[in-house]
Chain A
Amino acid sequence: MAVIEIHGLRKEYRRLRRGTTIAVSSLDLEVPEGGVFGFLGPNGAGKTTTIRCLLGLVKPTKGSLRLLGADVSKDLPTVIHRVGSIVETPTFFPRFSGRRNLSLLGRLQGIGPKSVTSILERVDLAERADDDVRTYSLGMKQRLGIGAALLKEPDLLLLDEPANGLDPAGIVEVRELLRSLGAEGRTVFVSSHILSEVQQMADRVAILARGACITAGPVGEVLTAGRAQGVVVRLEDLGAGVEALLAAGLDAAVDGDLIRVKLPPSEAARVTRALADRDLYLSELRTDEVDLETVFLELTGEQTS
Chain B
Amino acid sequence: MIRVVTLDPFEQETLQQLTRILYQAFGLGCEYAGEVKFPEVSKKGEAIDPVELLTKAEAVRGFADDKVLYLTTRPLAQRELPSGKAPTAGFSQYDGERALVSSHGMPSGEALVKRLAKQCIHELGHVWELHHCLDPRCAMYAPWSPAFLTGEPSLCTFCREQSEQKIRMAKT
Q: Are A and B associated in one complex?
A: no
